[in-house]
Chain A
Amino acid sequence: MMRKYLDLHIYSDNSIGSSSIKEVVDFAEKLNLSTIALLDYKDKKQLAELKKEIQGIKTQVEILVGAELVAGSVSDLKVKIKQVRDVVDILAVYGGNLKINRAAVEDPRVDILIHPEFKRKDSGMDDVMARLAAENFVAIELNFREFLHSSRKSRSFVLRKMKQNAMLAEKYNAPVIVASGAESVWDMRAGRELSSLAHLCGLPIVACIDSVSKTPERVMTHVKKVNSNKFVMPGVEIK
């Protein structure tokens, strides 16, 4: 059976991206991706239009619509999660702020914490946060675009911070995913190429391949579980 590769962080021109959904899907087909997630959600009206546009595209690639939450404070984040959780397939939180990173990994309704090290001098995560991410099944993202668009000194800093996050996640069994974070189709990469970033961050080869195949699939399964009416909190479900 062919291994499935997933990229759960792409933008189209419906948000900050520069390529249309059709172009993104064409490239996903060329790169043998089985599932992509477009983090283009703005509001419910735009979501309906997005879903209509996606339905009109004939493709083998599964297209998910997700939301990227950019919050100024923890309370703001909680409000936004409550508003969005039930309407989108993937809920990602824009990391970088230490308090936001902590709040994201504490909340089982969050699926992905995007680049926790973004614009920070440290890695944006500590051992407690890695343990919480494992308990609440919040995936820590290694962002390929950050690696791709940096060079020399800044790239070495980015890799060092990602390496530390990957090490913490591996130690505490927190899920790690590698996603392209593509704003244009030329930022997209095939599954095995994305996984090579995890290799640069020091993960063993099996974990590298899982970071673009099994772990994102487990994230999607977790989403379905959290979105069901039976879910109360991790470990507690109504029969």
Chain B
Amino acid sequence: MNQKSLPISLREKQRYLAFQIISKKEFDLGSVVNSIWWTILQLYGEYGTSKFFLWVPSNLYDQQNKKGIMRCGHMHVEDVRAALASIRQINDEPVIIKTLGVTGTIRSAKRKFLGFVDLEDFSK
């Protein structure tokens, strides 16, 4: 039996951060997610990270364009941005992670930053 979801008023408010990786090579989702988690844990520790409500959805990472979306709590956007900025390497390749913007829903993040325009695309 699945747990009943909380009423909207009691849920943690979330933000979706669209990011782009500037690098010479492409990276698979696993490397990117590992690198993000490792950096955030190193910078804020396990206790600090627990407040961030982090999630990197696997279906919202565009490997070719090196763009992705990640979720965090609405009070911790700047903390996560700082952690992304402190990533220097992924798989020993130098990288710069640039945040493209912040949205309140996955839908608008897809539309604004990943170039989803058709209604069919939103079902992906």
Contacts and interface: CB of A to CB of B under 8 A. Distances in A.
Interface residues of A, number: 22
Contacts, number: 51
A193 B84 contact: yes
Contacts of B42: 151-152
A189 to B, nearest CB: 5
Contacts of A200: 79, 82
B107 interface: no
Given A148-B88, A190-B98, A193-B99, A30 B78 contact: no
A193 B78 contact: no
B86 A148 contact: yes
A186 B95 contact: yes
A152 B39 CA distance: 11
B74 to A, nearest CB: 13
Interface in A169-227: 184, 186, 188-190, 192-194, 196-197, 199-200, 205, 208
A147 B88 contact: no
Of B78, B86, B95, B99, most A-chain CB atoms within 10 Å: B86
Nearest to A32: B98
Interface of B: 22, 42, 78-79, 81-82, 84-86, 88, 94-99
10 contacts: A148-B85, A148-B86, A189-B98, A190-B98, A190-B99, A193-B99, A197-B82, A197-B85, A199-B78, A205-B78
Given A186-B96, A194-B85, A196-B81, 9 more contacts: A31-B98, A147-B86, A148-B86, A186-B94, A189-B96, A199-B78, A199-B79, A200-B82, A205-B78
